[in-house]
Amino acid sequence: MQKDARRLNAAPSARMPGTEGIWTFVFIDMCIFLLIFLTFMSERLRYLALYTASQRQLNEWFGLANTLILLTSSWTIMKAVQSARQAVPKRASQYLALTLFLGFAFAVNKLREYASELGAGVTPATNPFFSFYFFITVAHFLHVLAGMLFMGVCWHQMRTHSRTTRFLSTLENVGLFWHYVDVLWIFIFPSLYLLGRFS
C-alpha cells in the first residue's frame, strides 16, 4: 500500500492518464457522434427554414445553465483526480461528491426542460429537427447517467482503495469520460440551441 502511494506521488505525469480502453471508447463514440452531427447539419441545410423556426422554440437558458454546470463539473472532476494523485483521499472524495451533485443538477435541469417541451406538445414526432434534438440529447443524457454511475462506484471505493494505482487509473478513466461528456455538450449547445438565433 505504501509503495503504491509513493508511486502515485512520484509523478504520474510521465504517462498518459487513463488506459487504452477508455481512449479507444472515446474515439469510437466521438466518431459516431460526429456522423450524427454531420447528418444533422446536412438535413438542416436542406430544410433551413423549418430547422431555424424549430430551434427558436427551444429555451436557450436551459442549455446555457447546463453548459455552465458541466464546465464546472469538469473542473471538480479534474481536482478529484489531482487530489487522488497527491494521495489526499478526503479531498478527492469531496471533489468527486461535488461532481456527482453537479451531474445530478444537470439531470434535473434537463428533465425539467423535457417536461416543459412535452407539456407544450413538442415530441420527437413533431418534425425532423425535434427527432434529431431528442435523439442527440437523450443519447448525451445517457452518457451523463453512465458517468454518474461510474463516479458513484469510485466514490464508494475511495476510502479503501484510494492509494492503489489501479484505483487511480480507474478514476482517471472516469475523469476522461466525464470531460468527453462535457465536450459533447459544448458541441450540442450551439448546434441545437444557438444556430437558429443567428440564421
Residue 7 has what pLDDT?
46
Q: Is 171 domain-assigned? A: yes
Q: Is 4 domain-assigned? A: no
The mean per-residue pLDDT over the stretch 36-42 comes to: 96
CATH number, domain with residue 34: 1.20.120.80
In this predicted structure, the answer to whether residue 199 has a pLDDT above a threshold of 90 is no
Phi-psi label, residue 88: left if phi above 0, alpha if psi -120 to 50, beta otherwise: beta
- Residue 10 is given by DSSP the state T
Q: Is 14 domain-assigned? A: no
Q: Is 7 domain-assigned? A: no
CB atoms within 10 A of CB 42: 9
Q: Which is nearest to 193 in space by CA: 109, 135, 137, 118?
A: 137
What percentage of the chain has pLDDT greater than the value 70? 91
The mean per-residue pLDDT over the stretch 71-94 comes to: 94
The reply to whether the predicted model has a pTM over 0.75 is yes
- Grid-cell match 471505493, residue found: 157
The mean per-residue pLDDT over the stretch 139-166 comes to: 88
Gyration radius from the chain CA atoms: 19
Q: Is 8 domain-assigned? A: no
Q: Is 106 domain-assigned? A: yes
Q: Which domain holds residue 33?
A: 19-198
As for how many domains the chain has, the answer is: 1
Q: Is 155 domain-assigned? A: yes
Q: Is 52 domain-assigned? A: yes
State the virtual CA torsion across 184, 74, 189, 69 in degrees, nearest 10.
140
In this predicted structure, the answer to whether residue 103 has a pLDDT above a threshold of 50 is yes
| pLDDT tens profile 108-117 | 999 999 999 9
SS3 130: helix
